[in-house]
Amino acid sequence: MKRRDFLKSAAVFVSGASVSISALEIFEPGEILAAAPELRWAFLVDTYKCVGCGFCVKGCKIENDIPLEANVTRTWVERYVLTKDGDVVADSPKGALNGFTSNLIDQNASGMKKIADTDIAQAFFVPKLCNHCETPACVQVCPVGATYQTADGVVLVDRTWCIGCGYCIMGCPYGVRFFHPVEKVVDKCTFCYHRISNGQTTACVQACPFGARQIGNLRDPGDPVAKAVLTQRVGVLRDEYGTKPHVFYIGLNMEVR
C-alpha cells in the first residue's frame, strides 16, 4: 500500500467512525431522570383567598414541634396595607400565629399605626414559607453538607450534621431559616416532607379553611398546582436573585417584598 492510499483510507475511516460513534451516544437513564424527574414539589398561594386567620402558622408549629411562643416560625403571614397616598405599611405580629385581629399595624419601634378605612387603597395578606428554590443559595453556602436538595426538589437540613454556623440563615434571600431554640440547629420549612412523602398534604395546606395554600407536583400535567402555574398569571418572590423559587403566588403585588 502506498503512503498516499494509506493516509486517504485512514482519513475516511476516522471521519466515518467518528460520525457513527457520535450518532450512537448512549444515554444514561439516570442522567435523563435527573434532568426531568417525575416529581418536583411546588407550592401555590392564592393571596386573594387568604384572610389572615393564621391557622396555617399554628398548624405548622404544632406539626413540626416549633415552640409556639418562640419568636421563630417556618411559615408566617404578612399583612400589607397600601394607602391612597402610596404608602406601604406591613406587619406580621408573632408571624400571625394568632391571626390578625386588630386594625392597628405593628410598626415595631415607632409603635402601633392606625390607618383610617377611608385612606386604604388596598389591603391583603401574603403567606410566606420556604421557596424550595431550584438553585438554593442557602445550600451552596453550607460548609459541611448539612443542608441539601432532594431529587424531588425539597430543601432539607440534616440535624445530626448541622454545626449551626448560620451561613445559610444569612444566605437565604427570603429569610425563611432560623435557629431552632430546642434542637440547637438551623431549621426551616420542609414542605412537611414526612406528610407529602406518605400521601398526605402539608400541615399548613390541610389547616387552611379557604384553600389559599396548595401543594402539588409540577411534573404531573393533571395536578391542580401544575395547571395553575402553567395557565394562570403567577408570580414569585425576588426573581432577581436567580434562585428559581418554587412557591408561586396568585395576585402578587410589586409592593410585596
Partner 1 sequence: MKNHVWRPLFVVIGLVVFILLVRMLYVPVDFNAQEKGYTFGYHRLSNEQEWKDYPAKYKESGYCLECHPENTATLAESAHAMIPCENCHGAALQHPDAPELLTVDRSRELCVRCHSSLFMPSSGRSAIPGIDPAEHNVDELCSDCHNPHNPSLEEM
Question: Distance between CA atoms of 57 and 204, rounded to whole angstroms?
Answer: 7
Number of residues that bind partner 1 (CB under 8 A): 61
Q: For residue 167, give Cα distances in angstroms to 134, 140, 182.
A: 19, 10, 19
179 makes contact with partner 1 (CB under 8 A): no
> Binding residue for partner 1 (CB under 8 A) from 72, 150, 165, 255?
150
As measured in angstroms, the least distance from the Cβ of 249 to partner 1 is 14
> Binding residue for partner 1 (CB under 8 A) from 89, 166, 171, 201?
201
In terms of CB distance, is 207 or 226 closer to partner 1?
A: 207
As measured in angstroms, the least distance from the Cβ of 79 to partner 1 is 8
In terms of CB distance, is 187 or 223 closer to partner 1?
A: 187
158 makes contact with partner 1 (CB under 8 A): yes
211 makes contact with partner 1 (CB under 8 A): yes
Burial label, 154 (beta-carbon count in 10 A; 0-12, 13-18, 19+): buried
In terms of CB distance, is 7 or 119 closer to partner 1?
A: 119
Burial label, 220 (beta-carbon count in 10 A; 0-12, 13-18, 19+): middle
In terms of CB distance, is 12 or 62 closer to partner 1?
A: 62
Tally the C-alpha atoms within 13 A of residue 79's C-alpha that lie toward its C-beta: 27
* Mask for 225-254, x = binds partner 1 (CB under 8 A): --------------------------x---
Alpha carbon 41 to chain centroid distance?
9
122 makes contact with partner 1 (CB under 8 A): yes
83 makes contact with partner 1 (CB under 8 A): no
101 makes contact with partner 1 (CB under 8 A): yes
As measured in angstroms, the least distance from the Cβ of 120 to partner 1 is 6
The pair phi, psi for residue 62, each rounded to 5°, is: -70, -45
193 makes contact with partner 1 (CB under 8 A): yes
66 makes contact with partner 1 (CB under 8 A): no
Which segment (2-10, 117-125, 215-223, 239-247) binds partner 1 by CB under 8 A?
117-125
Site residues (CB under 8 A) for partner 1? 34, 37, 47-55, 59, 62-64, 98-103, 117, 120-125, 135-136, 139-140, 145-151, 156, 158-161, 190, 192-195, 197-198, 200-201, 203, 206-207, 209-212, 251
